[in-house]
Amino acid sequence: MSTRFKPKYNIKKGDTVVVIAGDDKDLTKPRTILEVNIEKGKVLVEGVALATKHVKPTAQETKGGIEKKEAFINISNVMLWDAKLKVPTKIKRDRIEGKLVRVSKKSGEVIK
């Protein structure tokens, strides 16, 4: 995304999300965000979009072979998980005691 301003997303590293689109779609299995790439609008989700990578043996790593590794997926394909209601939820931003916090629209709980 080559825009003038950095986009704002409601998803951060360490959040619990569900995949709502794609091959790994599962609305009942919450997963953890490993990394967020804001510039490209992509996220790395634990156990989703596994890609195989062929690794050659080197002097430091004498064992080569085929590794399974997570690949980035679009940030629009994930949705935050509401732990209280056990459902995916949208987010709104509220000011509580002068701080901007993320609040679940379904349960009203503050997401840390």
Q: What phi, psi does 11 have (nearest 5°)?
A: -110, 135
- What end-to-end distance do the CA atoms of the chain give, in Å? 27
pLDDT tens-digit readout, 42-89: 999 999 999 999 999 999 988 899 999 999 999 999 999 999 999 999
Contact of 86 with 65, CB cutoff 8 Å: no
Q: For the chain, which residues make up each domain, given as ranges?
A: 16-83
Q: What's the angle, vertex CA 18, arms to CA 16 and CA 21, rounded to 5?
A: 150
Q: Are 28 and 16 in contact (CB under 8 A)?
A: no
Quote the pTM value.
Answer: 0.81
